[in-house]
Amino acid sequence: MYPEPALFLTMPQDTPSSTDPENDATLVHLVDAFIEDRLSEEEKCALEERLLNDEQAMDYCADRIGFHADMQQLLEPIRVEVIQKRHFVFERKHGLPRFVLRESQVTQVGNPSTGKAIEIPPQRVDSKDFKKRILIIGALTLTLILALVCYLVWNNQKNSASTTAPHLVLRNADFESTSLAEDEDAFSYMLIDWQDLFMTTRAGICDISRFSEGKITAPSGTNVAMLKPKSYLTQRLRMSDDTPLRVSPGLHIRVRGKVMAEDTSEPASLRLALRVVQSIIPEMVQYEPKHVMIPLKGQSWMDFEADFILPDDPEDMALTPSDVMVESKVGQEFNIDGEPLTLSIDNRTKTTIFLDDLSIEILSDKTNH
């Protein structure tokens, strides 16, 4: 039999005991009578007073209850329930608000067949542990706030980027996409983004400082483009949203960069052109609405600027092929209006040309690319 649930035991507050509970006949009698539900009202008060003031007596009582619960479980079902309690107190003290939080766990032991149970409250959470929990909760809250702020900033930047008008870009404009740190000869044919439509083994990139044994340095970074005689670079022009730049009346494009010729004992120049590549296979056909020649002077880096301005009248976009390998196309006109554009940089001189730090921009476009 279990006692009526009217008796509640409260954890004592660090009161020392001078008696060994197991050798205390009075305590043993009271605990056994409590377990067997045969305590008188006087004995019940005596036991409760003893447990309130003697921590060892409290531990002994709990051990005995646990032992009898184990024995009882062999005979009939028993229910043990651990309940966590949180105590929130908000009050004003000396005119100032104060908030107090306490936590405790309560163990209820009872017999589900009779519905009777006893409740044993333990010690409250240690103040140090409580402070640690508050610090952890505060840190987690701060982390969540920071994460939310970062998300809002990122989302705002993303939305701003999505509403920004696309602009014309040159990919790998500084020729640094390929690392030449492991190349012993400081040279590579890996011209990433500059061999879109055609390839040549006479053009590549080099770590100019190592390649020239310290005689030449790059304007920026380490790599530069190296165009041997009769070589070229080509790149399909695309906007920042990856859509192609197309021919349109009045389109004005400017290309800038740095260039240097290895030898200028003979006249040398760099040729830049806007082209429309109609076909590559089976036969190559190209149209060239504009080209610019950049004279090269001296054997040092020089800045260059090339402007390409297309006609305002769409009728003037009907051109004959500039480069063709199909006889039937020779002299045949084709209106390139609306066709994708390609930038071609050619070395048609007898000396090697170096390029670096290219850039491109649209100065005028009636189609609002």
Do 106 and 246 belong to one domain?
A: no
Instruction: Domain count for the chain, please give it.
Output: 2
At 153-172, the pLDDT tens digits run: 887 776 665 567 889 999 99
Report if residue 16 sits inside a domain.
no
The owner of tokens 């082209």 is 275
For range 43-56, the mean pLDDT: 85
At 260-286, the pLDDT tens digits run: 999 888 889 999 999 999 887 778 889
Could you give the CA distance from residue 62 to residue 78 in angstroms, rounded to a whole number? 16
Q: What single DSSP character describes residue 7? A: -
Identify the sign of the CA torsion 177, 182, 186, 187. Answer: negative
- β-sheet with 269-279: strand ranges across: 231-236, 342-347, 269-279, 285-295, 323-324
Do 243 and 355 belong to one domain?
A: yes
Closest CA to 228 of 207, 209, 200, 191: 200
Give the residue from 108, 125, 142 where a domain finishes: 125
Do 255 and 358 belong to one domain?
A: yes
As beta bridge partners, residue 260 has: 354
Contact 166, 206 (CB under 8 A): no
Give the residue from 107, 125, 143 where a domain finishes: 125
The owner of tokens 């021919």 is 247
Report if residue 5 sits inside a domain.
no
- List of residues 6+ apart from 61 with CB closer than 8 A: 9, 31, 34, 47, 51
Closest CA to 319 of 289, 355, 282, 357: 289
As beta bridge partners, residue 235 has: 343
Do 218 and 290 belong to one domain?
A: yes
What is the full DSSP assignment across 178-237? S--TT-TTSEE---TTSBSS---TTEEEEEHHHHTTTS---SSSSEEEEE-TTEEEEEE-
Do 244 and 112 belong to one domain?
A: no
- List of residues 6+ apart from 54 with CB closer than 8 A: 12, 15, 17, 19, 21
Residue 309, classified by CB atoms within 10 Å of its CB into exposed (0-12), middle (13-18) or buried (19+), is middle
Do 320 and 200 belong to one domain?
A: yes
At 59-85, the pLDDT tens digits run: 888 888 877 766 665 455 556 666 666
Residue predicted with more confidence, 113 or 194: 194
Residue predicted with more confidence, 103 or 289: 289
- The angle that helices 55-75 and 25-35 make with each other, rounded to 10 degrees, is 40
At 35-46, the pLDDT tens digits run: 888 888 888 888
Do 47 and 183 belong to one domain?
A: no
- List of residues 6+ apart from 359 with CB closer than 8 A: 170, 173, 255, 256, 257
Report if residue 357 sits inside a domain.
yes
Do 102 and 202 belong to one domain?
A: no
pLDDT for 139 equals 79
Report if residue 231 sits inside a domain.
yes
User: Is 0.75 surpassed by the pTM of this model?
Assistant: no
Single-letter amino acid, residue 58:
M
Do 36 and 119 belong to one domain?
A: yes
Residue predicted with more confidence, 97 or 14: 97
At 123-156, the pLDDT tens digits run: 444 555 556 666 777 777 888 888 888 888 887 7
Report if residue 137 sits inside a domain.
no
Do 244 and 331 belong to one domain?
A: yes
pLDDT for 72 equals 63
Could you give the CA distance from residue 167 to residue 21 in angstroms, rounded to a whole number? 87
Contact 113, 77 (CB under 8 A): yes
Could you give the CA distance from residue 348 to residue 271 in angstroms, rounded to a whole number? 7
Do 176 and 97 belong to one domain?
A: no
Q: Over 50: is that where the pLDDT of 2 sits? A: no
Which band of pLDDT confidence, cut at 50, 70 and 90, is reported for residue 16?
very low
CATH of the domain at 298: 2.60.120.260
At 175-228, the pLDDT tens digits run: 999 999 888 899 999 889 998 878 888 999 999 999 999 999 999 999 999 999
Do 187 and 334 belong to one domain?
A: yes
At 312-349, the pLDDT tens digits run: 998 898 998 887 766 666 778 899 999 999 999 999 99
Cis geometry, peptide bond prior to residue 321 (ω within 30 degrees of 0): no
Report if residue 146 sits inside a domain.
no
Report if residue 116 sits inside a domain.
yes
As beta bridge partners, residue 293 has: 271
Q: Over 60: is that where the pLDDT of 7 sits? A: no
Could you give the CA distance from residue 144 to residue 139 in angstroms, rounded to a whole number? 9
At 220-255, the pLDDT tens digits run: 999 999 999 999 999 999 999 999 999 999 999 999
Q: Over 70: is that where the pLDDT of 13 sits? A: no
Give the residue from 125, 159, 185 where a domain finishes: 125
Tokens read off for 186: 């400081």
Boundaries of domain holding 313 = 168-364
Report if residue 25 sits inside a domain.
yes
